[in-house]
Structure 1
Amino acid sequence: MSLHDELTAAQRCLDDLARCVSRLEKHVGTGLEIRRVRSDAEHLKESLSLLRATAPPPRAEPPAEMVTIPDQPYDPGLWTDVDDEGLGARDRHAP
């Protein structure tokens, strides 16, 4: 995975964490513990934003090189030392 993909995955996880903390807060109330967890989640979100800001921009992949294939048939001399694949040797019959 590229750095950009990893940062995006981490952001998704932090968004999930924020949603889970909100659901937990509904169950346990707004006590000191849940405020602390929410604060820690916000700090992680800020830290990831700082990391994303300092990360190098994603590089564009160079386009694939085009290969020209000629229209004329290949030289039959290229195939004199091989068997016809799947057909057996030239002097024998296929099963």
Structure 2
Amino acid sequence: MSVHDELTTMQRCLDDLSRSMSRLEQQIGAGGLEVRRVRHDAGHLRESVALLREAAAAQDIPRRPDLVTISDAPYDLSLWTDLDDEGLGARDRRAP
């Protein structure tokens, strides 16, 4: 199951919890400390799932690779002393 599917399942469960809490509040009253505490905890769970959803969405966005700065300064010519000139052949030989 994908992360998106798991988060949707969690959201559905929280919706079911909220509906159950509403029915329970009607039966036993909303004034009790325990009912308010569960309602408050369910609110925290909703906020946490929303944060997880944002974090998962941020990971789905393809990140640009870090840019590498290339200096405009000329290369050290001693790096190329043992190589042939590209496409021109060796200095001491003739081109075919």
TM-score, length-normalised on structure 1?
A: 0.58
User: Take 1:3 and 1:39, find their aligned partners in 2: how far apart are those partners?
Assistant: 26
Shift of 1:57: 3.1
**Counterpart in the other structure of 1:12:** 12
The amino acid across from 1:50 in the alignment is: L
User: Take 1:57 and 1:33, find their aligned partners in 2: how far apart are those partners?
Assistant: 39
**Counterpart in the other structure of 1:79:** none
Shift of 1:4: 0.5
Percent identity, please: 64
**Counterpart in the other structure of 1:26:** 26
Structure 2 unaligned residues grouped into runs of 5+: 62-96
After the TM superposition, which residues 1-95 of structure 1 pair with which residues of structure 2 at under 5 Å, given as runs? Answer: 1-30=1-30, 31-55=32-56, 56-57=59-60
Structure that is richer in helix per residue: 2
RMSD (Å), alpha carbons: 1.3
TM-score, length-normalised on structure 2?
A: 0.57
The amino acid across from 2:21 in the alignment is: V
Structure 1 unaligned residues grouped into runs of 5+: 59-95
Structure 1 segments, 4+ long, off by >3 Å, are none
User: Take 1:37 and 1:54, find their aligned partners in 2: how far apart are those partners?
Assistant: 26
Larger Rg: 2
Pairs aligned (count)? 58
